[in-house]
Structure 1
Amino acid sequence: MSNLDLKKGERAEELLRKYFLSIGYYVLRAVEFKYHGFDITDIDLWLYSRPSPISRERTNVDIKMKKQPQALERVLWTKGLQKVLNLEKCIVATTDKRPDVTEFGIEHDVLILDGNFLSKLTSTERYDDKRISEEEFENILTLLDSSSYGGNWKQRYRKSKAVLITKLNFDGVNHLLDDIQYYLERVATSENESYGPICRALYSSISMLLILLDYSIKDIIFKEHEERVKMISEGIRYGIDGKDQAKKLLSMATTLISSFVGSAPIDNTAITAEVENQFKSIPAEIIGNHFSTTQSMKNMFHLAIAFEGLAFGKETVRTIDLEFEMKSILGVLCDFNSIDRKKVIR
């Protein structure tokens, strides 16, 4: 599916995606927002930026390319979604050219990209055609569903995108680490035909992982290196609730088990020790040591954009041909999952 085959709204979303990428944003398109399994809405574009080492900005973008775009209503809807998701900014892109719409947006702290802006954007050939669209990317993943690897690759990808709006923390980091393990294992055994599509899925997941890490460590950037290693490692082991909460839940669980088994002897100490050993067996320091360095934290955001670019590039880049820093990240993820680097970086 080429960009010419896309619907009008889809083409506009792709064009605006390229625009925001060109000015330095990390961009996800068509992000599902669900609540307890119920579909609420799709976010046309989700933007992420890093204005400074200690600040991050997340923005939801609503895009309407209709003759009657109901722009004023979209301002209210988009502002409400921003509040629900606890984002820093929101944008409405509309074909409406009325100054009143822009004024209404200003009053409610909503940036309006009006019809005049969109007309200029669509009338110029300012962006190259080196990217595939979201639809093309998902079609590639769908081909893997019917391959020997099986599984619903497209749904896995969509769930990962959704994590960035609902779990932008270490719980989200762990979700992406699970996905990355899945992809690494398949890259290591893939044949020529499936190698490229799996690499795309891997690169996309690594890009999202880096955004999750970048946001999760923004408050610890000025701490000592050893403290940063500890906090990242514990985040990976215990999630957002942390070590203390994990111990509390474990204590409650063992007490509950004891109450059910009655007079039968239960060694709560042994159970607790075994669970704690399972936590400790997670080699979280491998990731903590790599991503806690000043240089890694500085480059994380830009590397996320670079990996996203590889995932959506017209041509697949082999893992062996990655830039040094990107190859290093891939190696760290292989080590974390006890996967032979040579089987993946080839």
Structure 2
Amino acid sequence: MSSKPANVSKKTGKKGFETEEIVRSYFLGAGFFVVRGVKLRHGGDELTDIDLWLYERSATLARRRIIIDIKDNAQPKAAERLFFVKGLAELIQVEATGIATSDTRRSLRELARKHNVLWIDNADLQRLKSSQRLTVSSRLSDEDLGELIAKVDTSRSSKNVRDIFASVKSAVADRFGPSCANTAIDGAQYFAKMCVEAHPGSLPAQVFTRLTYFSAAIAAAALDFTSGESALRPHHDRLANLTDAIRFGDDPKGTVEKLRWAEAAIRDYAPNGAGLAEIIHTRFNDALKSVPAESLAEIVVKMTNSERLFNAARDLEQAAFLTDCPSFDDLPIDAKSFLGAVLDFIAINRVVFSQSWNLDNPIPAAKEDADSDSTSPSSEVVVPPIDDGKLL
């Protein structure tokens, strides 16, 4: 939600980045799926960025997206940020908002509560910063991962890896659901393909493994969110709904209508239009049937009967950022099952992918002094509780 300069210094944003990591650790420990540094794009332009984007699944039908704006500096302009984040939330249609600020005014906390904005003020931030569980972790920061990505891009004289990673991230902001899942699966296909082509155990193999995990995590979260709309329907209806979502994206009926319109236009205006329209209709449907969406949809339906897919998303996100990046075979069982289904869907051999990166030959990560204690989603992390208006 704030523009951050490329050259980071203590005066220009390093403190803010560190605070974002601490607040992210807090929400990860509280059971949320969290993405940091999400850029909101429209028409190819970057409009703003969201410091933290959260997804919560608290029950079979209860799903919630939250955006958090973080300002930890001498002049946080907290009131302006409150108005801004409320407007942004309405624009991208998320269910809740929050502010983490170095401001100390009680009047703003009361205003935030009145407007159902989660409020984390300076006193709350200081408590989070004093928690060793949150400040010392075995995770890479976004900046650490960015440095690894930059090394791979530099070696290839391009910015493709960075750009595709940013595109997968940005998909959660304004199209979370089938369209986001498809974007993330496309990202996973690119990264997994690069991974199996890289030298086993190399830095590129590690980075592409991490980014495959991350893309699969976004896909899992987006499909979990999508499944909420049909959670109470019979199994075959849920399967059909998710199969169409994977094949068509957000608007299966709209896609079919556009195809029918195109066929009608060809039939009416093109030479030999009727025959050409029939050929296009047949080939399009044959191409759709060749997409093995049913297998992936079946896995999603089974895993969304409970919180298994949501937990797989959290575990895959954690694996993407762990200092010691785990291999495919070392992933938690549900994370491995979902990623395996994604690899099958994008025609990447699981065995070959698993052999590309192995902890027996790790590459030193950017954060060499990270603590060895794990803060994985399954670990017990003591964090203060939250309600809809404040950090308790």
Aligned equivalent of 1:181: 189
Contact 1:49 1:57 in 2 (8 A): yes
The percentage of aligned residue pairs carrying the same residue is: 28
Aligned equivalent of 1:158: 166
Aligned equivalent of 1:269: 278
Alignment of 1:1-346 (within 5 A): 7-127=14-134, 128-147=136-155, 152-191=160-199, 192-193=201-202, 194-242=204-252, 244-262=253-271, 266-293=275-302, 297-346=306-355
Higher relative contact order structure (alpha carbons within 8 Å, sequence separation ≥ 6): 2
Contact 1:214 1:297 in 2 (8 A): no
Contact 1:290 1:296 in 2 (8 A): no
- Aligned counterparts of 2:57 and 2:141: Cα–Cα separation in 1: 25
Instruction: Decide which moves more: 64-73 or 324-333.
Output: 324-333
SS in 1 for 2:40: strand
> What TM-score, normalized by structure 1, do the two folds share?
0.93
Unaligned runs of 5+ in 1: none
- Aligned counterparts of 1:294 and 1:176: Cα–Cα separation in 2: 18
Contact 1:228 1:292 in 2 (8 A): yes
SS in 1 for 2:41: strand
Amino acid aligned to 2:177:
N
Contact 1:238 1:246 in 2 (8 A): yes
Contact 1:29 1:44 in 2 (8 A): yes
Contact 1:291 1:297 in 2 (8 A): no
Aligned equivalent of 2:359: none
Note the C-alpha offset of 1:45: 0.7
Note the C-alpha offset of 1:269: 1.7
RMSD: 2.1
Note the C-alpha offset of 1:39: 2.3
Amino acid aligned to 1:276:
N
- Aligned counterparts of 2:326 and 2:353: Cα–Cα separation in 1: 13
Instruction: Decide which moves more: 245-254 or 212-221.
Output: 245-254
SS in 1 for 2:230: coil
The 3 A distance-change label for structure 1 pair 4 and 307 is: farther
The 3 A distance-change label for structure 1 pair 151 and 296 is: farther
Unaligned runs of 5+ in 2: 1-7, 356-392
> What TM-score, normalized by structure 2, do the two folds share?
0.82
SS in 2 for 1:44: strand
Note the C-alpha offset of 1:337: 2.1
SS in 2 for 1:185: helix
The 3 A distance-change label for structure 1 pair 149 and 172 is: farther
